[in-house]
A and B are shown apart, each in its own frame.
Chain A
Amino acid sequence: MIKNIFYVILVASVLSACNDKLDDVNKNPNATETPSAAYLLTGTLKQGADLYWGSESNFNSSLLFVQQWAKIQYAEPDRYDISNTGFTTLWNTGYSTLITDMNTILNFTDQQANPNYKGIALTLRSWTFLLLTDAYGDIPYKEAGTKVTPAYNTQKEVYTGLLDDLKQAQTLLNTANGAVTGDLVYKGNIATWKKLVNSLRLRIALRISDREPELAKQAVIEATGDAAGLISSNSEIFKFVYTSSPQQNPASAWFETRDDYRISKTLVDKLAGLSDPRLPVYAQLPSNAAIGKYAGAANGLSNSDANSQGFANTSKPGTYFLTSQSPAVIFSYSEVLFGLSEAVARGYITGDAEQLYKNAITASINQFGITDAGVIDGYLNQPAVKFDATNYAKSIGEQKWIAFYGQGLDAFAEWRRLDYPVLVAGPATVLDGQIPTRFFYPGTEQSLNGNSYLAAIKNQGKDLLTTRLWFDIK
């Protein structure tokens, strides 16, 4: 009997030792299961900036649609000839990197992340959802990150949900709630984060203003009435500043190896017509000195016609945008001022819409390093620039378009909402003369989340580039 027990113990301990050995062998030496909030925050800021300023959702799509840049080579996207994998990066990086990383912080215990980390995480998550819904329309929001096949929410549900999320972020953020490290943008300054939160609320409120004026008005009042205030100077711009390779600005990295983009003729002609002081910042002179003036490339040409404009005869985007340290601007002070001007013009709040409009343009010109008051005054006093109170959408739309140079996704959203400037599709474009009014969903949604996708299509309309989104009434 004793002997038997001995054998049982012997066998059991051998098996257990084997199991321990097998467990040890399967410990992953390559990565960690327990991340740090600070490192996730740094990653989100960097990857978010790369996404917003990078090729697929910015200069290879939205920046072309709004005719700020043009393609002189590989011109398919400039003709809106885009395969169903063409808008996958915004979706995938947005959801499975940015939102997942921020959700990781939001799910941390208070020991792992103080409320300020969570407030920032909620803010950045809201910003990501906003980019997604602005581009695609209906998107998974409430069930995102919780189900294998999450249902889509309507765009209205997403915008209103985000307004609530940002309200909550505002309450989480408090200078007394502990320090934040890894914050490459605001260096842990919680007060500025609170300003960004209110600025995002203003942005969202205006997005829905044509569709839900009452809701928009209330949100504007809440955002502008919050004690923390809004972004109030160019020094508070939400921007990510790059360093050097391999951490350089994505547009700069692109131009190191490729030469297929030029500034759009539409934008150059507009700026030249207004003698806009930003033109020399936005564009370079063509390398062929004989040209001698800024020359944009036309949008929507066939590859051969695009190419025939000549690499040497057309203007590249300005060096301000193409050095490795060039910033990725995500929320500018001038956008806040344009927003306030419009909120006044819409009667949501009181104030001087024209002065706010002028301040917005001034802030934008300053942002690009031009501070000569005489030059700015001269610019503002031109009839073509002057605020048109009877058609504020035109004044704000055109100037916001100029100010948004490089911020393709937001320029695209505001162009669709304000319907200015009036843009004409290029001659070889493939949408029967229309310009895209959204991104289509990644082709993989059809196969990976088919039922949810079909429900969304049913609600929103065909999954086409030209389907109008809910916020975009005309």
Chain B
Amino acid sequence: MTFSVYYLRRTGLLILFGILTTLALSAQQHTISGTILDEGTKVSVIGATIKLKGQQGGTVTDSKGDFSLKVSTLPVTLLVTAIGYKYQEIDVYESVPATFYLTEEINRLNEVVVTALGISKEKKSLGYTMQELKNKDLQNSNETNVLNSLTGKLAGVRITNSQGDMGSSRIVIRGETSIAGNNQPLFVVDGVPVDNSQLNSGGATRDFKNAIADLSPEDIESLSVLKGPNAAALYGSRAAHGVILITTKSGKGQKGLGVSIHSGVSFSQVTTLPDYQNTFGQGSNGKFSYVDGKGGGINDGVDESWGPKMDGRLIPQFFSNGVAVPFVAHPNNVKDFFQTGLTFDNGISIAGSDSKYDFRLGVNDQKQKGTVPNSEINKTNFTINSNYQLTKNIKVGITGNYIVTDAPALPGGPSGNRAAGVMLQFLWFGRQVDVNELKNNRNINWNNSYYSNPYWNANYNTTSQQRNRFIGDVHLEAKILDGLNFRFRSGTDYYNDRRKYTIKYGTNGTPYGSYAEDAYTVDEKNTEAILQYTKKLNADFSFDGLAGFNVRTRTYANNYQKAPRLAVPDLYTLTNSRDALTSSNYYSSLLVYSGFASTQLAYKNYAYLNITGRNDWSSTLPRNNRSYFYPSVSGSLVLSEALKIKSNILDFLKLRGGWSEVGNDADPYQLATVYNFQTAFDGNPIQTSSQRKLNQDLKPETTRSTEFGLEASLWHNRIHLDVAGYNTISLDQILEIKTTAASGYTSQLINAGRINNHGIEVQLDVTPVQSRNFKWNVGLNYSSNKSKVEILDYAGQIKNYTIGSSGGVDVLASVGQAYGTLFGTVYLRDNNGNIVVGANGLPKADPKNQVLGHYTPDWLGGITNTFTYKQLDLSFLIDANVGGKIFSGTNRTGNYTGVLAQTLPGRDAANGGLNYYYPGNNTSATKVLLTGSTAPGGEVVYDDGMIFKGVQANGSANWQVISAQEYYKASYNISEAYIYSSTFVKLREIKLAYNFSRKLIKKIGLEGLSVSATGRNLFFIYKAVPNIDPETAFSTGNAQGLESLALPTTRNYSFNINLKF
């Protein structure tokens, strides 16, 4: 089920399932019995009061939601009330046990939500937007990275999915507010801030998962998004990019002992593989013959597909030992390399509670076999969440999440890595290659000048990862006086992450193999004490306030060691090395003290004023600048109450607004410029400049944000609308600006930069149809964010900040432009905009680089349709990302190598190629275009001629014929040619779930049983860029909009069963 179902539950409309229609015959004493469940969550409603209409008598549901009642006549009408649910009348006609569902009472006046620091507040009192997802919106997707399951469900939240099926996901809320720094929100799990880094070092990198992917969606009870500074101001220096509060499941509300079992399996297939051509095979200029795969035969060292037609002609090939065998296409050779990915996700949890305690113990195991052969990740989550009422006034508790990840082999090395990259070899490829021949013998390959066999790479040149993580806390809550409470919490997020990189002896390009170990330890600790005071001042005013402090430490350690050449094969140890090891280590720690306070003043129950303040003292800033204060003020006015304008049409209307200032400190050790040691030379130590000029006068970054919003419910909550507008200015940004090396340093750290983000977010929830058994709900979200880099340095000298680069394209923060400008080479054009072509018939590049677009989208939207028919739920989510540009390395390379179908036009007469010849058959001479099919001197005639559309230097139309091979290679170094719109519309998710009626399953001793089938990332309804998925993340960093031979994304089908007894 999806996000809109959550709203469905909130719409406060009465829906009744399973009404009995049979007439009872007996007129004597009848026992009517049944179970009352929550319509949305299907859990028991405990303590619901049942009365008889027009008669005496009644009862209350027990801990399982069951009731039983004696009546004298049938039919009767039951009047059911329960706190938090809509009052309901149920007609009962017979004395057969039945299940009744109650709809949660969405009284927008009483709705309580969890806000910053875990403080519960009435939602109507908040001066900012707040969006929540519940467990059912996240579970059963079997997503291996929890962030992916949020895609399209939250307004203003941009999630970029993993490449392949084992990579990182990037999440950004309300646009990039930091030019250079991290733009990911802060994640807080059960009150404990947790790490979401993507750790990488030592040069050997791949797209590792970001750390929040460690959490299992099955353990998550709810997830609240604090979108930006206004909502998150109490988190002070970490609030600028928003906060995601995650509450894990607990045993609260579980009477007696309950056991839940979850079991799921999912299958994944690669999608968006490049569209390959299947007409021409490996080689160059139409010629190919294999001898040694490294230039010994005819073009057999060439890893491109400009060879002969694959028409069955006989040519020696890599597997044929010199025998000429048919040269034929293998259209699925790349697809066949990938396998169906398989993920098993199984979990069991036990929960219970009574008046003194509650607890939940859970274990969840996920085994994933990836789509790349040999890739595998195993992850086990152990969770505990328990509270104990020590005395009447003191409650203590713990939460613990222990996560063990063991990935024996992760797919793909760094993109472009010859020893481990996957798509590299499939874009520099021979289209005739039969991968089964490669699979059968890993010691041979179709090309030996550049690569080893892809199965060799996948099986021997592996990256493994072992990660052990503990997230947990101890907490205490004490009631000191009436209205005065004390809360204490000490939490930690600690993990070790060890990676091992092996390259096998004999790998092409790494003949001795290599072995590297990369180890990280990250430890974040937060200890927090809060005093909370609530008082009703008089009949109209009430006060709610808190004050507290927090001590935060974070330590990070990395150690990387590499044996660059192994001494003997197949022994992967650091001592098995021909050379001195290359090694590095890095240690950092930071300490932040914080004090904070917040107050809320309420007038009657419709006007609220909220003020917060926080002061941080950070170790990373110089003495004079390390103390900094962040205030926020916001207000809310429930107009429908204040003006008493409630009507049949308007249920609820609220206006809200606020202003806040938050900020950010620096990373550790950014004050003093240092010199690094390098490996000593023959006993002589080496020191050298770090090339980074640091700054002793750093100030904290500041982000100021203003937000206004409106929330309205209409027609008995059948329409619910929430609109938010915001404007954020981030200034004094800590920028490590790239500088020309001629300045003495390749980068300098400055406090400068101003970036503006403003945008609008709309959430609309509509229930167009609802009847007894059927309900249709539409949840829609839209967000648009516009950014503008206003200033980089205050002197105005620096116009660009380089965020990242790939394939000659830079991603910049460029003054006056939107964040994430793509900058690179363009075609040389004349004054009329025609491409200038050289005398050789090839286009020329403009020596001056140009802006090619920006990667940030214009708007994002998602629409979820949910259909509920009796116990069957069907939902589907379509999301769209409109605008933004991407530079595609896949298209660039695939055009160059002639493997893509888009390189077919012009390659022979059948594909529209022009005839030409070389005068005197001198292939070094200039080609001459032919209108007929015979050359004047009887020369050989070629039919793969093409003419690049453009003008010659003198302005006349270009007529110089070139070969198709030259044509498609001509733009390789012209970035403009491979810039595409990243607009797409995707069928993101279809989910079908069935909840068995309790009547049925009770007989086999179950409390709950549901089955579901989910399909994710099913297909593109529209996309502008060919051959790739435009939404793959390059990494979790800010350098997006660059695609570099990314692993294909996957389509997943998952099947889940959930049992409760």
| Chain A residues engaging chain B, CB cutoff 8 angstroms | 18-19, 21-23, 25-26, 28-36, 38-40, 42-44, 46-47, 72-73, 81, 83-85, 91-97, 99-101, 103-104, 139-140, 143-150, 182, 184, 243-247, 256-259, 302-305, 307-312, 427, 430, 432, 440, 443-451, 462-464
Q: Is the CB of A72 within 8 A of B295?
A: yes
Taking each of B564, B669, B687, B799, which has the highest tally of chain A beta carbons within 10 Å of its own beta carbon? B687
CB < 8 Å neighbour of A22 from B283, B511, B618, B797: B618
Q: Is the CB of B838 within 8 A of A184?
A: no
Query: Which chain B residue lies CB-closest to A23?
Result: B623
CB < 8 Å neighbour of A449 from B298, B586, B589, B740: B740
B678 to chain A: which residues have CB within 8 Å?
Answer: 43
15 residue pairs A–B, Cβ–Cβ below 8 Å: A26-B668, A28-B672, A30-B674, A33-B673, A91-B741, A92-B746, A103-B744, A148-B793, A150-B742, A184-B684, A303-B284, A307-B295, A311-B295, A311-B301, A446-B848
B496 interface contact, C-beta 8 A: no
What per-residue 1/0 map shows which CB atoms of B512-528 lie under 8 Å from chain A? 10000000000000000
B839 interface contact, C-beta 8 A: yes
What per-residue 1/0 map shows which CB atoms of B971-1008 lie under 8 Å from chain A? 01100000000000000000000000000000000000
CB < 8 Å neighbour of A100 from B623, B745, B972: B745
Q: Is the CB of B687 within 8 A of A304?
A: no
Contacts known (A311-B301, A443-B849); A73 close to B591, Cβ less than 8 A: no
Q: Is the CB of B839 within 8 A of A245?
A: no
A93 to chain B: which residues have CB within 8 Å?
Answer: 741
Q: For residue A428, give the distance in angstroms from its CB to the closest CB of chain B.
A: 9
B847 to chain A: which residues have CB within 8 Å?
Answer: 440, 462-464
Q: Is the CB of A18 within 8 A of B617?
A: yes
Q: Is the CB of A308 within 8 A of B295?
A: yes
CB < 8 Å neighbour of B682 from A33, A144, A243, A311: A243
Query: Which chain A residue lies CB-closest to B970?
Result: A430
Give Cα A467–Cα B800 distance, bound, in whole angstroms.
27
B733 interface contact, C-beta 8 A: no
Nearest 3 interchain pairs by C-beta: A304-B284, A145-B744, A31-B674
Give Cα A391–Cα B689 distance, bound, in whole angstroms.
47
- Please give 15 more A-B residue pairs, beta carbons under 8 A apart, in addition to A40-B688, A42-B681: A32-B687, A33-B675, A42-B686, A43-B688, A83-B808, A140-B740, A148-B743, A148-B798, A243-B681, A245-B564, A245-B565, A304-B304, A307-B294, A443-B808, A447-B823
Give Cα A307–Cα B849 distance, bound, in whole angstroms.
32
Q: Is the CB of B295 within 8 A of A258?
A: no
Could you say which interface size class chain B belongs to?
35 or more
Q: Is the CB of A144 within 8 A of B295?
A: no
B746 to chain A: which residues have CB within 8 Å?
Answer: 92, 96
Q: For residue A298, give the distance in angstroms from its CB to the closest CB of chain B.
A: 11
Q: For residue A14, give the distance in angstroms from its CB to the closest CB of chain B.
A: 11
Contacts known (A144-B744, A243-B682, A447-B810); A309 close to B295, Cβ less than 8 A: yes
A449 to chain B: which residues have CB within 8 Å?
Answer: 739-740, 742-743
Give Cα A83–Cα B807 distance, bound, in whole angstroms.
9
Q: Is the CB of B295 within 8 A of A245?
A: no
Q: Is the CB of B617 within 8 A of A22?
A: yes
Query: Which chain A residue lies CB-closest to B448?
Result: A311
Give Cα A34–Cα B687 distance, bound, in whole angstroms.
10
B671 interface contact, C-beta 8 A: yes
Taking each of A44, A304, A312, A430, which has the highest tally of chain B beta carbons within 10 Å of its own beta carbon? A304
Give Cα A186–Cα B222 distance, bound, in whole angstroms.
70
A247 to chain B: which residues have CB within 8 Å?
Answer: 679, 681-682
Contacts known (A72-B295, A308-B295, A445-B740); A26 close to B797, Cβ less than 8 A: no
Q: For residue B236, give the distance in angstroms from its CB to the closest CB of chain A.
A: 16
Q: For residue A189, give the distance in angstroms from its CB to the closest CB of chain B.
A: 16
CB < 8 Å neighbour of A149 from B579, B668, B685, B740: B740
Query: Which chain B residue lies CB-closest to A240?
Result: B681
What does DSSP make chain B's interface, helix, strand, loop or mixed? loop
B84 interface contact, C-beta 8 A: no
Contacts known (A43-B688, A96-B691, A150-B742); A432 close to B672, Cβ less than 8 A: no
Give Cα A277–Cα B748 distance, bound, in whole angstroms.
52
Q: Is the CB of A26 within 8 A of B669?
A: yes
Query: Which chain B residue lies CB-closest to A429?
Result: B840
Q: For residue A190, give the distance in angstroms from its CB to the closest CB of chain B.
A: 18
Give Cα A21–Cα B509 distance, bound, in whole angstroms.
50
Give Cα A103–Cα B675 distance, bound, in whole angstroms.
13
Give Cα A22–Cα B616 distance, bound, in whole angstroms.
12
A-B contact count (CB 8 A): 254
B285 interface contact, C-beta 8 A: yes
Q: Is the CB of B849 within 8 A of A446?
A: yes
Q: For residue B707, give the distance in angstroms from its CB to the closest CB of chain A.
A: 33
Q: For residue A157, give the distance in angstroms from its CB to the closest CB of chain B.
A: 14
Give Cα A92–Cα B675 distance, bound, in whole angstroms.
16
What per-residue 1/0 map shows which CB atoms of B714-755 lie under 8 Å from chain A? 000000000000000000000000111111111010000000
Contacts known (A26-B590, A311-B301); A97 close to B740, Cβ less than 8 A: no
B299 interface contact, C-beta 8 A: yes
| Chain B residues engaging chain A, CB cutoff 8 angstroms | 283-285, 292, 294-296, 298-299, 301-302, 304, 306, 449-450, 509-512, 564-565, 578-580, 582, 585-591, 593, 617-620, 623, 626, 668-669, 671-679, 681-682, 684-691, 738-746, 748, 793, 797-800, 802, 805, 808, 810, 812, 814, 823, 825, 838-840, 842, 847-849, 924, 972-973
Query: Which chain B residue lies CB-closest to A446?
Result: B849
Q: Is the CB of A308 within 8 A of B299?
A: yes
Q: Is the CB of B579 within 8 A of A246?
A: yes
CB < 8 Å neighbour of B582 from A246, A311, A440, A447: A246
B284 to chain A: which residues have CB within 8 Å?
Answer: 302-305, 308
Contacts known (A30-B586, A150-B740); A246 close to B688, Cβ less than 8 A: no
Q: Is the CB of B564 within 8 A of A246?
A: yes
Q: Is the CB of B295 within 8 A of A145?
A: no
Q: Is the CB of B743 within 8 A of A73?
A: no
A258 to chain B: which residues have CB within 8 Å?
Answer: 509
B838 to chain A: which residues have CB within 8 Å?
Answer: 432
Q: Is the CB of B302 within 8 A of A32?
A: no
Q: Is the CB of B301 within 8 A of A307?
A: yes
Q: For residue A262, give the distance in angstroms from its CB to the closest CB of chain B.
A: 11
Q: Is the CB of A73 within 8 A of B449?
A: yes
Give Cα A44–Cα B675 distance, bound, in whole angstroms.
13
Taking each of A31, A148, A256, A310, which has the highest tally of chain B beta carbons within 10 Å of its own beta carbon? A148
Q: For residue B1015, give the distance in angstroms from its CB to the closest CB of chain A.
A: 42
Q: For residue B554, give the distance in angstroms from its CB to the closest CB of chain A.
A: 10
B564 to chain A: which residues have CB within 8 Å?
Answer: 245-246
Contacts known (A83-B808, A311-B449); A25 close to B589, Cβ less than 8 A: yes
Give Cα A38–Cα B683 distance, bound, in whole angstroms.
12
Give Cα A191–Cα B847 distance, bound, in whole angstroms.
47
Give Cα A36–Cα B690 distance, bound, in whole angstroms.
14
B295 to chain A: which residues have CB within 8 Å?
Answer: 72, 307-312
Q: Is the CB of A94 within 8 A of B741?
A: yes
Q: Is the CB of A303 within 8 A of B741?
A: no
Give Cα A373–Cα B202 distance, bound, in whole angstroms.
52
Q: Is the CB of A42 within 8 A of B685?
A: yes
Q: For residue B589, give the distance in angstroms from its CB to the closest CB of chain A.
A: 6
Give Cα A92–Cα B450 distance, bound, in whole angstroms.
29
Q: For residue B313, give the distance in angstroms from its CB to the closest CB of chain A.
A: 19
Query: Which chain B residue lies CB-closest to A27?
Result: B669
CB < 8 Å neighbour of B449 from A33, A95, A307, A445: A307
CB < 8 Å neighbour of B578 from A94, A245, A430: A245
Taking each of A18, A184, A303, A305, which has the highest tally of chain B beta carbons within 10 Å of its own beta carbon? A303
Query: Which chain A residue lies CB-closest to B589?
Result: A25
Q: Is the CB of A444 within 8 A of B802?
A: yes
B687 to chain A: which residues have CB within 8 Å?
Answer: 32, 35-36, 39-40, 42-43, 101
CB < 8 Å neighbour of A96 from B294, B673, B674, B744: B744
CB < 8 Å neighbour of A145 from B589, B743, B802: B743
Q: Is the CB of A148 within 8 A of B797?
A: yes
Q: Is the CB of A432 within 8 A of B840?
A: yes
Query: Which chain B residue lies CB-closest to A94?
Result: B741
